[in-house]
Amino acid sequence: MALFYRIAHIFRAFQVLYLLFDDIYNTEYSLFGIKNRANTPEGEILYMSFEALGLSDNLMKAIDECGYTEPTPIQAAAIPAVLMMRDVVGLAQTGTGKTAGFTLPMIEILDGGRAKARMPRSLILTPTRELAAQVAQNFDTYGKYTNLSKALLVGGVNMDPQIKALERGVDVLIATPGRLLDLFDRGNILLSDIKIFVIDEADRMMDMGFIPDIEKIASLLPFTRQTLLFSATMAPEIKKLTEKFLSNPKEVSVAPPATTATNVEQFLVETSPRDKKKVLDKLLKQEDVKNAFIFCNRKRDVDDLAAWLKGKGYKAEPMHGDMPQKTRTETLAGFKSGEIELLVCSDVAARGIDIDAVSHVFNYDVPMNADDYVHRIGRTARAGQKGRAWMLSTDRDAKYLDAVEKRIKQDIERVLLDGGSKPEDKKRSKPKTDHSKDPAPRSSVRSDKRADKSANEKPKNDVSPKKKRRYQDDDDGDSGTGFGDDVPAFFKI
Ligand code: AMP
């Protein structure tokens, strides 16, 4: 055993030396003879075709069937690095094609091998069940011409089928941390054969208090594994995690989907808490809404608003982390099929849901975490389409609105609804942007002078961000270790 570990260390040392050499000389060609400098911090995109990535015919066929013509920047940068067996830190969020950025090379690497019973060959950790399901779907899509087996270990569903799948042996294990640790503690799974370990949406894991679980899981894996970590932001806690568990990682980053800013028209209505429902109703009637996500900060508002909308005759359903997994899956299927037009949801429940052709996003509440705003509006305008995002804001939200506008580096256009609710505190209103180039909101909405949020102004009912955040998170990805409203949260504003 000692000899084995010595050999493993020597192998790793050689690997790290090679990688250092590769970095220092910034070579244009990797070991596989393919250019690998696409959109990395070092430089420009050098290749633009999937062929250049050196993927197998089986993968190329599946990619072709998806209709993808070229890799996205994160794929162009990450795929060659993963194929070179490097650890990778990918700074990218949903909508950038990051999932294929790790699933494609993983399929390439794992194809042909065989998994032993209860000893999966790779592990992907995701914060939520929905994201886990989505990653699994990616493996189905891209791996359809390979014989790789996979298992999904998520909470809220029966363990037995998951245990049976593990016993058959799986190449790819996609799991939420709570259920994985549960099954590990019961002895249903051994992690000593993991060759590739992926931490997806690390920042969201952090928000949900999963860092200790990730650390525990990482410590159970073999030293010689390859580790890939994807995160939309690089908070200090995530940085620490990468330093602890990744070895000389290749950093690849893409800007937050800039398309979000260009393809999503963003508007804001200033109103009062009392009038919010009325304003939303008006917007839903005035806008040409095909289907929409409506985001609330709190679970009870998700339920309440969905019930109210249903009462008004809208095809609306709620979705949040307290709902049974079966209901969540059915709701999602209904939304995808068009049976449900308005999905009233919380941030975590909606995370990772990938549905093309969503016409609108409504922020019923201003998110308390500015990054969430970017994620929310990124639910629309996917795959190059156009979308519209509306946000309702009250006086109480001034601080959070300010953070959102700083995050997106632009002022959101204020709109006054015809005959509708007006900002309560007109004294605060003064023009901040020139609306002469009005992006012409649809139907009868008209542009209004926007309210300025003075830097010194203290919002009413101010509550410390940490305190507020406690009421915002709602999902743990596993019923077994539910945090519910008491999720420990790191606040990023
Ligand atoms: P993700 O960021 O992984 O959630 O992916 C967002 C969307 O991009 C998904 O709908 C993918 O099917 C799609 N996608 C992934 N890779 C490509 C590509 N190379 N070209 C076009 N679409 C892609």
User: What pTM was computed for the model?
Assistant: 0.59
User: Could you say which residues of the chain have pLDDT below 70?
Assistant: 1-48, 255-262, 349, 351-354, 381-385, 418-493
Q: Which residues line ligand 1 (CB under 6 A)?
A: 68, 71-72, 75, 94-100, 354
CA–centroid distance, residue 97 to ligand 1 (Å)? 4
- Ligand 1, atom 18: closest residue by C-alpha: 68
pLDDT tens string 184-240: 999 999 999 999 999 999 988 998 899 999 999 999 999 999 999 999 888 888 999
Query: Which residues lie closer than 8 Å to 46 by C-beta, 6 or more apart?
Result: 28, 35, 37, 38
Distances (CA, A) of 110 to 30, 50, 83, 370: 20, 19, 11, 38
Ligand 1 center to 94 CA (angstroms): 9
Nearest CA residue ID for atom 10, ligand 1: 354
- 3-state SS assignment for residue 119: strand
DSSP 31: T
Structure confidence at residue 33 (pLDDT): 33
- The residues of the chain that CATH labels 3.40.50.300 are 11-253, 264-434+457-479
Residue whose C-alpha is closest to residue 224's, from 15, 2, 30: 15
Q: Which fold has domain 11-253?
A: Rossmann fold (3.40.50)
Given this model, what pLDDT does residue 364 score? 97
Q: What share of the chain is helix, strand, coil (3-state, %, to 5)?
A: 40, 15, 45
Residue 382 C-alpha to ligand 1 middle, in angstroms? 9
Closest listed residue to residue 109, CA positions, set 154, 153, 74, 78:
78
Residue 44 CA to residue 117 CA, distance in Å, equals 44
Distance 347 CA to ligand 1 centre (A): 21
Say which CATH class 264-434+457-479 falls into: alpha beta
- Span 286-337, pLDDT tens digits: 998 989 999 999 989 999 999 999 999 999 999 987 888 788 888 988 998 9
State the Rg of the chain over Cα: 23
The two structure tokens encoding residue 67:
């209709």
Cβ(394)–Cβ(275) below 8 Å: no
Nearest 10 degrees: Cα torsion 402, 440, 314, 361: -40
Q: Which residue has the tokens 């091998």?
A: 113
Distance CA 191, CA 222 (A): 8
Give per-residue pLDDT as tens, 73-104: 899 999 999 999 999 999 987 777 899 999 99
How many angstroms separate the CA atoms of 302 and 346, rounded?
7
